[in-house]
């Protein structure tokens, strides 16, 4: 249920409605837009049938949300959400590029890549310190030491940091170092983790599960918003199909579809989406043309020696060349990069 308030609603009236909704055992979520303030009501809404909220001063109309996801829906908020990561705004005109190695391997390598991707135009440094590997024998990440390297490179370059958290028990630690907490594809339906990061004050980057529908993806984001964290960025990173010539199939449909269904920013990861470095730049261009708000790209100075995902990593000079090519695509669709 959404309570749309009148443009001239007073703070006192908003507080009064919020109190009333709480007394009925429901959860009110106030969203202050540029033009309107609305209150989303979560819970067993049947009680509202005997309590017509339209009668309250300040209320313009009360509308049901028919979709299973409520807070993430466009019905709940018609304007695009812009997520501010210490001044880097995700979801606005400027396309935000997050780049860096798949795994944090050493401070020297991270600093080298960080400086190069920043120079090429990336504003967020990526790198996994906790790695969700298909095999227990593969490199699992440097853990807190890797997080410290990310923090050090942030200090030296001014880049913001995005890194994955895999376990509810590590959220407090990853939060200390990261500017954006990443929930990986394999954890998209780890509901306890979603609830935990929903309590965080840091923005969340939620990656689509490789076998998740768009509806399931949005329901997972709903967990984060319902726990109180509205700073959620969605990431399309490829899904499983019958095609096995590429690692995954990047679902470009999902970009305009999610932009229609939700107010949250959508970014695209063509590195995992294709699994092949030679396909990354073409699919990055396609993603921007389709309306993506940002990109996540794996970059490694020596992919041959990478601890993980070398085959899909761009070397820095190719990343730089791609960034130059992306400018024209961004301009053609009214964006900047
Ligand atoms: C990653 O971005 O490091 C990663 C593991 O991606 P995904 O969760 O999409 O597989
Ligand atoms: Mn990777």
Q: Does any domain span residue 167?
A: yes
Residues 229 and 317 in one domain: yes
C-alpha gyration radius of the chain: 21
Residues 8 and 105 in one domain: no
Buried b (16+ CB within 10 A) or exposed e, 262-293: bbbbbbbbbbbbbbebebbbebbbbbbebbbb
Answer yes or no: is pLDDT of 1 > 90: no
Cα distance between residue 91 and residue 293, in whole Å: 5
Q: What is the pLDDT of residue 35?
A: 75
Q: Does any domain span residue 236?
A: yes
**Ligand whose nearest atom lies closest to the CA of 311:** 2
Q: Does any domain span residue 204?
A: yes
- In eight-state DSSP terms, residue 297 is E
pLDDT digits (tens, 9 = 90+) for 35-87: 788 898 888 877 877 778 888 999 998 888 888 899 999 988 889 999 999 99
Q: Does any domain span residue 27?
A: yes
Q: What is the pLDDT of residue 37?
A: 87
Q: Does any domain span residue 155?
A: yes
* Most ligand 1 atoms within 8 A of CB, residue of 138, 272, 300 to mutate: 272
For the Cβ of 121 lying below 6 angstroms from any atom of ligand 1, the answer is no
Residues 259 and 125 in one domain: yes
Q: Which domain holds residue 133?
A: 83-332
**CATH (domain of 238):** 3.20.20.70
Q: What is the pLDDT of residue 34?
A: 72
Q: Using 50, 70 and 90 to split pLDDT, how confident is the model at 241?
A: very high
For the Cβ of 285 lying below 6 angstroms from any atom of ligand 1, the answer is no
Do 199 and 180 touch, CB atoms closer than 8 A?
no
Residues 254 and 138 in one domain: yes
Residues 10 and 156 in one domain: no
Cα distance between residue 154 and residue 158, in whole Å: 5
Q: Does any domain span residue 288?
A: yes
Residues 92 and 129 in one domain: yes
CA nearest to 233, candidates 270, 259, 210: 259
Answer yes or no: is pLDDT of 174 > 90: yes
Answer yes or no: is pLDDT of 179 > 80: yes
For the Cβ of 102 lying below 6 angstroms from any atom of ligand 1, the answer is yes
Residue 2: how many CB atoms within 10 A of its CB? 20
Answer yes or no: is pLDDT of 33 > 90: no
**CATH (domain of 6):** 3.30.70.1140
Rounded to the nearest angstrom, the distance between the alpha carbon of 185 and the centre of ligand 1 is 6
Q: Does any domain span residue 68?
A: no
pLDDT digits (tens, 9 = 90+) for 78-136: 899 999 999 999 999 999 999 999 999 999 999 999 999 999 999 999 999 999 999 99
Cα distance between residue 185 and residue 285, in whole Å: 22
Q: What is the mean pLDDT of residues 136-164?
A: 97
Q: Does any domain span residue 11?
A: yes
Residues 52 and 103 in one domain: no
Residues 93 and 15 in one domain: no
pLDDT digits (tens, 9 = 90+) for 184-237: 999 999 999 999 999 999 999 999 999 999 999 999 999 999 888 999 999 999
CA nearest to 221, candidates 252, 265, 178: 265
For the Cβ of 40 lying below 6 angstroms from any atom of ligand 1, the answer is no
For the Cβ of 208 lying below 6 angstroms from any atom of ligand 1, the answer is no
Q: How many domains does the chain have?
A: 2
For the Cβ of 185 lying below 6 angstroms from any atom of ligand 1, the answer is yes
Residues 134 and 245 in one domain: yes
**Ligand whose nearest atom lies closest to the CA of 269:** 1
Residues 182 and 270 in one domain: yes
Do 60 and 5 touch, CB atoms closer than 8 A?
yes
Do 269 and 296 touch, CB atoms closer than 8 A?
yes
Q: What is the mean pLDDT of residues 16-45?
A: 87
Residues 58 and 93 in one domain: no
Cα distance between residue 328 and residue 337, in whole Å: 9
The minimum-distance atom of ligand 1 relative to the CA of 269 is 9
- In eight-state DSSP terms, residue 211 is T
Residues 48 and 96 in one domain: no
């Amino acid at each position: 249920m959404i309570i749309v308030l009148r443009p001239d609603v007073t703070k006192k009236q908003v507080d009064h409605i919020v109190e009333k909704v709480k007394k009925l055992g429901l959860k009110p979520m106030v969203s202050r837009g540029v033009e309107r303030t609305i209150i989303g009501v979560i819970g067993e809404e049947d009680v509202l049938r005997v309590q017509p909220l339209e009668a309250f001063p300040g209320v313009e109309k009360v509308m049901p949300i028919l979709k299973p996801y409520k807070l993430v829906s466009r019905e709940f908020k018609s304007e695009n959400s812009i997520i501010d990561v210490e001044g880097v705004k995700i979801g606005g005109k400027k396309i935000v590029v997050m780049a860096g190695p798949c795994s944090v391997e050493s401070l020297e390598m991270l600093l080298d890549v960080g400086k190069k991707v920043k120079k090429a135009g990336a504003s967020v440094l990526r790198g996994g310190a906790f790695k969700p590997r298909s095999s227990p024998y593969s490199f699992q990440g440097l853990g807190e030491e890797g997080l410290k390297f990310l923090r050090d490179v942030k200090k030296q370059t001014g880049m913001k940091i995005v890194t994955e958290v895999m376990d509810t028990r590590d959220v407090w630690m990853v939060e200390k170092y990261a500017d954006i907490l990443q929930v990986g594809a394999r954890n998209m339906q780890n509901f306890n983790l979603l609830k935990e990061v929903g309590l965080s004050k840091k923005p969340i980057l939620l990656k689509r599960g490789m076998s998740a529908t768009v509806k399931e993806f949005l329901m997972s984001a709903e967990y984060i918003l319902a726990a109180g964290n509205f700073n959620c960025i969605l990431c399309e990173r490829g899904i499983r199909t019958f095609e096995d010539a590429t690692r995954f199939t990047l679902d470009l449909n999902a970009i305009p579809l999610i932009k229609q269904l939700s107010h949250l920013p959508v970014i695209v990861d063509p590195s995992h989406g294709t699994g092949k470095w030679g396909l990354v730049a073409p699919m990055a261009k396609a993603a921007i043309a389709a309306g993506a708000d940002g990109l996540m790209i794996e970059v490694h100075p020596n992919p041959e020696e990478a601890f993980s995902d070398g085959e899909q990593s761009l070397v820095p000079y190719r990343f730089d060349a791609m960034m130059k090519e992306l400018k024209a695509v961004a301009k053609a669709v009214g964006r900047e990069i």
